[in-house]
Amino acid sequence: MTRFGKFPERSLADLGREAVLGALDDAGIEGSQVQIAYAGHARTGRLHGRENGVGQLVLWESGIRDIPITGVGNFCASGSSAFREAVFAVLTGIYDIALAVGIEKLSSRAERGRPLTSDGMELEGEFGFTPPAFFAMAAKAYMAETGTTPEMLAAVAVKNRRHASQNPYAQYRELITVEDVLAAPMIAEPFTRLSCCPTGDGAAAAVVVSEAAAQRLGMKRLVRVLATSLTSGGYRVGPLGWFDIDRRAARAAYEMAGVDPRDIDIAEVHDAFTATEIIHYEDLMLCRRGEGGRLVADGETALGGRIPVSTSGGLLSKGHPLGATGVAQVHEVVTQLRGEAGPRQVEGARTGLTHCVGGFLDGDAASSCVHILQKN
Amino acid sequence: MELAGSGSVISTTHVVTPPAGFDKPIDVALIDLAEGPRLFALLTAPAPPGTPVQAVPASVREGHPGFAFEPVR
């Protein structure tokens, strides 16, 4: 993957090529050996006039041609969904070497300093809808119900920044304190600027192979995909402050993997906002309802804790170039499971989870995607 | 379904950094309408969860004519 950040001088093709060549090099294969590819991107149409064809562009720039390539647009879960498609391609038995790439370049958008909007929310946008405003309301409902405090929310940003300080790929690496988070400019109460993930640019890629191909090619350092799970919203009017869509995605993933939530050693969760990381601990069944705030305040989800979450720095500090995020989460979990994460290594990590959720429809999220990976 | 425009605040936030098209902070809320649907909408004034509200004419993004919800006293 590329480093995440704001790179106005770099193109989609340039970012994507670095990620693809990095993944091929890591897998020890040539571009000509890739049989099928999927490219996740969410804003390239609006920002770069490329709603389609980003995958073809990036792969051609990487020297790959004459293969099936499909663009995957699924909001913030575009990268996760591209990875899932690559897994499916191999599961069909028709292909045994697939590639997933996620790319995004948000630094060129005109509304700098303003929150991102979301596809399909034009009507709500007339009334000021933005993701931070929506999740701020969910956070307030959650805090009122569970007694979770603003300091507990801020602890998420502090933890993820501390993790990012050990990750050379992260967008923001300078340490911050709870006081810094609480005193940063307000976006939508209770979220300050440091409670919200930044926008940025970046790309990530992953090679997915069958067992037979791995053996044939003599690949080492393998990580097994135990489960892939994707679901859409239920669009039900229900209690605010927890996310049924993520619970359903997680439950399906645990069932497919045949593992218990207690077996998860590390997780990259969709921490677009501080409060949502806490709520997702519960959605992903890493703790019981209402215990998420205490989990982070007690350091249980920090490096060295019981279940380290977002060891990469997460969306909050590693950054969130939409389509790249899901593949970058896979990159982090694979790096951890291989024992190659250096100063942020979680000792003995054997099973890891990634989680991305994106988009809005009728008061619910539109897509939630969970993967469970295990050291081979 | 005909909507009378009355409902109740479920949750609300004060948006200090609004999206493009708004030139000052806004208060927004999720509102459960009397008829059942839940709506994302502007408030004319801050109103905590549980406050009964009524839709009134108000300007929305870029000053376009629309509606916002007013707390019922």
ipTM for the assembly: 0.97
Residue of B nearest to A112 (CA): B20
Distance in angstroms (rounded) separating the CA atoms of residues A224 and A285: 22
Known catalytic residue at A280: no
Which candidate, A234, A208, A245, places its Cα nearest to that of A334?
Answer: A208
Are B11 and A127 within 8 A, CB to CB?
Answer: no
Q: Which of B20, B26, B30 is opposite residue A137, by nearest beta carbon?
A: B30
Low-confidence stretches of chain A (pLDDT beneath 70): none
User: Which member of A41, A270, A320, A371 is catalytic?
Assistant: A320
* Preceding omega of A185 cis (within 30 degrees of 0): no
Q: Which residues in B have their CB inside 8 Å of a CB on A?
A: 10-22, 26, 28-30, 32, 36-38, 40-42, 49, 60-61, 64, 66, 68
Q: Do A137 and B37 touch (CB under 8 A)?
A: no
Q: Which residue of A has its CA nearest to B49?
A: A141
Residues of A in contact with B68 (CB under 8 A): 127
Q: For residue B1, what pLDDT band results from cuts at 50, 70 and 90?
A: confident
Q: Which of A121, A122, A127 best tests the B interface by mutation, with the highest count of B CBs <10 A?
A: A127
Cross-chain Cβ contact A117/B61 below 8 Å:
no
Choose, from A41, A76, A163, A371, the residue flagged as catalytic. Answer: A76
Q: Locate the DSSP E strands across chain A.
A: 36-40, 69-72, 97-105, 186-188, 191-192, 201-209, 223-232, 266-268, 351-361, 364-375
If you count residue pairs, one on A and one on B, with CB atoms under 8 Å apart, how many are there? 93
Contacts of A268 (CB under 8 A, 6+ apart): A309, A310, A311, A312, A314, A329, A332, A333, A352, A353, A354, A355
Q: Is A287 a catalytic residue?
A: no
- pLDDT, one tens digit per residue, over A48-89 is 999 999 999 999 999 999 999 999 999 999 999 999 999 999
Characterize A77-92 residue by residue with b for buried, 16 or more Cβ atoms within 10 angstroms of its Cβ, and e for exposed: bbbbbbbbbbbebbee
- Are B13 and A126 within 8 A, CB to CB? no
Contact A130 B16 (CB under 8 A): no
Which one, of A109, A296, A294, lies nearest residue A198 by Cα? A109
Q: Do A137 and B29 touch (CB under 8 A)?
A: yes
The DSSP secondary structure of A177-198, one letter per residue, reads -HHHHHHSPEEETTEEGGGBPP
Using DSSP's 3-state secondary structure scheme, residue B52 falls into: strand
Q: Which chain A residues touch B34 with a CB distance below 8 Å?
A: none
What is the predicted pLDDT for the residue at B52? 98
B-chain residues near A189 (CB < 8 A): 13-14, 16
Mean pLDDT for all residues in chain B: 95
Per-residue model confidence as pLDDT tens digits over B20-38:
999 999 999 999 999 999 9
Question: Using a CB-CB distance cutoff of 8 angstroms, which residues of chain A are in contact with residue B64?
Answer: 126
